[in-house]
A and B are shown apart, each in its own frame.
Chain A
Amino acid sequence: MANESTVSGAAANAASASRGADIDGELVRRMQSGDERALGTFYDRWYPIVNGLVARMLKSADDVEDVVEETFWQVWRQANRFAEGRGSVQTWILTIARSRALDRLRATRRRREDSIDDGGENLASLAEPSFAPATNDPSLAVEHKERSQLIRAALGDLPREQREALELGYFKGLSQSEIAERTGQPLGTVKTRMRLAMQKLRDRLSPLHEVAR
């Protein structure tokens, strides 16, 4: 059950996200008409978040740079295919970034036949992240920090097994059968854990992504 301060934090963050969604929508419309300056502004807004996500998923700095560039290039090339009624700009770009990072992660894994043991960084370490000076935009940093706290709180409320299934799927790019193999659990158990985790997370975070539409 969310407490009162979490709810008011979500409301403040929702209002801020709504303003950001308006700006992003306008930038995408300008990109659709071929305005490359809009891509520059969009990049400035989203680089710290996209780079943060990609850097968390990939080890090599070269891979991170490539994938970040591929992500924004895909945004530019597919701006015309973005349909506002079908989802938010935020979901769109973060899905692209994660898909490109997953492609790279899986290709690297196939190439090196790497062990998927990756040194152990995980979502379970829900301590406050250190905020590197990645953005000059204080409002973005504040919005990100508040949003991050809300999501971490929601994740922190999940049972450890559900959180682990989510983390291995989202950040490590493992399929459910790979997670089952890695954790030694039956596939059906992994599916159930992941489904429950997503349902709970969706309930807790719905105020955030509804305004982002």
Chain B
Amino acid sequence: MIPELSHEEAFAALDAAALDALDSAEREAVLAHADGCESCRHELEALRATAAQLAFVSPLSSEAVPGSRERIRSRLTARAGADARVRGLAPERKPDLSTREYRAIRARINVLAWRRAEWLALAASILLIVGIGVMASVLRDRENLKEALVGATASTQRSQQASDSLRSLVMSRDSLIAGITGRDVAMVQLTSSAAREPSAMMFWDRSRNGWTLIAHNLPTPKPGRTYQLWLVTPTAKISAGTFMPQNGEAMVRATYALARDSLRAVAVTDEPAGGMPQPTGSMVVIGNATK
């Protein structure tokens, strides 16, 4: 329960609240009062603005680790782009209406529209038949240009789609590279005793809870069977998904939050299609994570 403060008590503590220098119970009480008190809220905002100025006392700082500034930037913009798409926020990329080609076509349509009006006036007053012919010709031109415009727009849209697709591919690659080369990534090597030795490496990006398994020389499972990936802890064997290799190769990505010191091993077993809640089949590869 948050203790209730009088206005005077809360007001007197606003400067410390702006500096986040109150013990948690008092802080909650002051913020609760400020939420419902307009004058305290304004005072708190003003004091926070003052406190924020203190940041400028620190010298402008260059990156502590070489390359970190660019690395953070690239991760942020990639994450933000993906997030915007997931949340349906991504601004619609309309065909670029300012392209030279589009403008030229629009200009020609405008010119021809005016010309058409002139021809119609002439045709009406002098030669109806010739005028109709000319008008038909102009209309044909106009239709052709409209088609060209539609074609150019479609082409722009196709280019945009191709660009979006490539961008998505690059982001996916970026994410993969970050997942196996990040500074907080642990690696577990998985081996087998079989003749044509399957092998695998598991990369655990502990700060993002990302898991990337890359496996080689895996035989194709028998019909009705699949491979299943397991994270082994002292208390459980946790399924990280099923997968099928292609030409003996496989890459599996999963997200799972695991305490840093609880991983004991990583294993792949042969299981019935669809996977099992606990391993039942033969071990294909296994790696000790406690080394």
A residues at B contact (CB < 8 Å): 31, 33-37, 39-40, 43-44, 47-49, 51-53, 55-56, 61-62, 64-66, 68-69, 72-73, 76-77, 86-88, 90-91, 94-95, 97-99, 102, 123, 129-135, 140-141, 144, 147-148, 151-152, 155, 166, 169-171, 173-177, 179, 191, 194-195, 198-199, 201-202, 205-206, 208-209, 212-213
B87 contacts the other chain (Cβ, under 8 Å)?
A: yes
Q: Which residues of A are found within 8 Å of B183, using beta-carbon distances?
A: 62
Report whether over half of chain A's contact residues are helix, strand or loop; otherwise say mixed.
helix
B122 contacts the other chain (Cβ, under 8 Å)?
A: no
Q: Which residues of B are found within 8 Å of A61, using beta-carbon distances?
A: 64-65, 68
Check A123–B21 contact: CB distance below 8 A. Answer: no
- Which 3 pairs, one residue from A and one from B, show the smallest C-beta to C-beta distance? A34-B89, A129-B59, A52-B61
Check A72–B72 contact: CB distance below 8 A. Answer: yes
Check B21–A55 contact: CB distance below 8 A. Answer: no
Given A34-B90, A87-B48, A169-B16, check contact A209 B60 (CB 8 Å): no
Check A56–B207 contact: CB distance below 8 A. Answer: no
Query: Closest residue of chain A to B57, judged by CB?
Result: A151
Q: Chain A interface: which of B73-81, B141-149, B192-200, B257-265? A: B73-81
B residues at A contact (CB < 8 Å): 12-13, 15-16, 18-23, 45-65, 68-69, 72-73, 75-77, 79-81, 83-84, 87, 89-91, 183, 207
Q: Which residues of B are found within 8 Å of A43, using beta-carbon distances?
A: 72-73, 76-77
Q: Which residues of A are found within 8 Å of B22, using beta-carbon distances?
A: 175-176
Check A65–B64 contact: CB distance below 8 A. Answer: yes
Partner of B18 from the list A49, A198, A206, A208 (CB cut-off 8 Å) is A198
Complex Cα distance A65/B72, Å?
8
Partner of A134 from the list B12, B62, B72, B87 (CB cut-off 8 Å) is B62
Check B12–A195 contact: CB distance below 8 A. Answer: yes
Q: Which residues of B are found within 8 Å of A198, using beta-carbon distances?
A: 15, 18-19, 47, 50-51
Q: Which residues of A are found within 8 Å of B61, using beta-carbon distances?
A: 48, 51-52, 55-56, 132, 134
Check B64–A151 contact: CB distance below 8 A. Answer: no
Given A170-B54, A177-B23, A198-B19, check contact A76 B62 (CB 8 Å): no
Complex Cα distance A68/B76, Å?
11
Partner of B20 from the list A90, A173, A208 (CB cut-off 8 Å) is A173
Q: Which residues of B are found within 8 Å of A35, using beta-carbon distances?
A: 84, 91
B206 to chain A, nearest CB (A): 12
Complex Cα distance A94/B57, Å?
12
Report whether over half of chain B's contact residues are helix, strand or loop; otherwise say mixed.
helix
Complex Cα distance A20/B90, Å?
26
Check A47–B69 contact: CB distance below 8 A. Answer: yes
Check A170–B72 contact: CB distance below 8 A. Answer: no
Check B62–A176 contact: CB distance below 8 A. Answer: no
Check B55–A36 contact: CB distance below 8 A. Answer: no
A198 to chain B, nearest CB (A): 4
Complex Cα distance A155/B54, Å?
9
30 A-B pairs with CB atoms under 8 Å apart are A34-B89, A35-B91, A39-B77, A43-B73, A48-B62, A49-B55, A49-B58, A51-B64, A52-B55, A52-B59, A52-B61, A53-B58, A65-B68, A69-B72, A86-B45, A95-B48, A98-B20, A132-B59, A132-B61, A134-B62, A140-B60, A166-B54, A169-B16, A170-B51, A191-B12, A194-B16, A198-B47, A205-B50, A209-B49, A209-B52
Query: Closest residue of chain A to B76, judged by CB?
Result: A72
Complex Cα distance A53/B21, Å?
17
Check A134–B60 contact: CB distance below 8 A. Answer: yes
Complex Cα distance A34/B77, Å?
11
Q: Which residues of A are found within 8 Å of B90, using beta-carbon distances?
A: 34
Check B50–A176 contact: CB distance below 8 A. Answer: no
Given A43-B73, A55-B64, A191-B16, check contact A76 B21 (CB 8 Å): no
Known: A34-B89, A51-B61. 13 other contacts (CB 8 A): A37-B77, A53-B55, A69-B72, A76-B76, A94-B55, A95-B52, A131-B60, A151-B53, A170-B54, A175-B22, A176-B22, A198-B15, A209-B46
Most buried by A among B50, B53, B63: B53
Partner of B91 from the list A34, A144, A199 (CB cut-off 8 Å) is A34
Check A144–B60 contact: CB distance below 8 A. Answer: yes
Partner of A49 from the list B49, B56, B68 (CB cut-off 8 Å) is B56
Complex Cα distance A72/B68, Å?
14
Check B56–A76 contact: CB distance below 8 A. Answer: no
